[in-house]
Amino acid sequence: MSDTGAGVRTGIVAAAEPPHHRRTLAGYLLMPALLALVCLALYLYVSSQELDSIEARSLNAASLTKATWEHVQLTAVSTLLTLIIAIPLGVLLTRPFTRRIRPYLLTVLTIGQAVPTIAVLVLLAVAFLFLGFQAAVVGLVLYAIIPVLLNTMVGLEQVDESVLEAGRGMGISKFGVLTRLELPLSVPIILAGVRTALVINVGTATLTTYINAGGLGDIIVAGLSTNRVLVQIVGAALTAVLALLIDYLAGIAEDFLRPKGL
């Protein structure tokens, strides 16, 4: 195992997971039930308040639905592009011919993630003179690519070399070893990175309101700019519910995509 691979492994929390047990039906229903109760409590609380014209305009069903849908779109598109870029790149960086450039690329990406998200979004807007959905997606991809990339590398590098040698000994090609052995055995760790990226994107997408990309950040900023605490609470609560719901759905996908026995 290379020093770089060992360093990457130590940089990822919980890379080596304990044996996984699929949840029961009650376990699958618990989180949706809790989130539904939170939404119901939030609705009842807002309904019990006397709303002024600004609060009523910000918290009507059409505005909240539009902001939530924009937030989902931002998260879904940016995460999909992140996977398309990060997983193949992670595979390439675990191949022997990329050993020389691997440390430099990882250093650049790690430094890039340390830059505040709002700074990345503003730099994109200033440097490329474009705002809105496209700029937001680019910024979210740049910010979420690290966990998926590193988890892909860790997942591939933790596969037992004896398993790979056995595959080669059976006459399986290098590409076959990658697709039939390395990637399937790496699925649990890669999916952990995907879940991290999803949650990062949900939270970070609230900042894209500052470059006119919409989302639930519009609700939060509307509350901040008008000093309406109730509007801020609703925007923040809906963002948290959406993050937990997406993480829950990603957990279900992880349960079903995880190879049996892992």
Per-residue H/E/C for the chain = CCHHHHHHHHCCCCCCCCCCCCCCHHHHHHHHHHHHHHHHHHHHHHHCCCCCHHHHHHCCHHHHHHHHHHHHHHHHHHHHHHHHHHHHHHHHHCCHHHCCCHHHHHHHHHHHHHCCHHHHHHHHHHHHCCCCHHHHHHHHHHHHHHHHHHHHHHHHHCCCHHHHHHHHHCCCCHHHHHHHHHHHHHHHHHHHHHHHHHHHHHHHHHHHHHHCCCCCHHHHHHHHHCCCHHHHHHHHHHHHHHHHHHHHHHHHHHHHHCCCCC
Q: Is the pLDDT of residue 229 over 50?
A: yes
212 Rama sector, left if φ>0, alpha if ψ -120 to 50, beta otherwise: left
**130: containing domain:** 25-162+188-257
Residue 93 placed within a domain: yes
Residue 173 placed within a domain: no
Lowest mean pLDDT across 68-72, 110-114, 204-208, 236-240: 110-114
Measured distance between the N- and C-terminal CA atoms of the chain, rounded to whole angstroms:
22
In terms of Cβ atoms closer than 10 Å to its own Cβ (0-12, 13-18, 19+), residue 92 is: middle
The answer to whether 92 and 98 have CB atoms below 8 angstroms apart is yes
**Percent of the chain beyond pLDDT 70?**
82
Structure tokens at 29: 């229903």
The answer to whether 151 and 192 have CB atoms below 8 angstroms apart is yes
- Alpha carbon dihedral 63, 66, 69, 71, in 10-degree steps, equals -70
Residue 194 placed within a domain: yes
Residue 220 placed within a domain: yes
96-153 pLDDT, tens per residue?
888 788 888 878 777 766 766 666 666 666 555 567 788 888 888 888 888 899 899 8
Residue 134 placed within a domain: yes
* Domain count within the chain: 1
d(CA 230, CA 49): 9
Q: 258: which DSSP letter?
A: S
Residue 248 placed within a domain: yes
CATH code of 217's domain: 1.10.3720.10
Confidence at residue 158, expressed as pLDDT on a 0 to 100 scale:
85
Residue 177 placed within a domain: no
Identity of the residue numbered 238: L
pTM above 0.85, yes or no: no
**CA quadruple 50, 236, 65, 205: dihedral sign:** positive
Residue 183 placed within a domain: no
64-96 pLDDT, tens per residue?
999 999 999 999 999 999 999 999 998 998 888
The answer to whether 189 and 17 have CB atoms below 8 angstroms apart is yes
Lowest mean pLDDT across 171-185, 188-202, 219-233: 171-185
Q: Is the pLDDT of residue 33 over 70?
A: yes
Which of 91, 43, 47 shows the shortest CA–CA distance to 190?
Answer: 91
Identity of the residue numbered 174: K
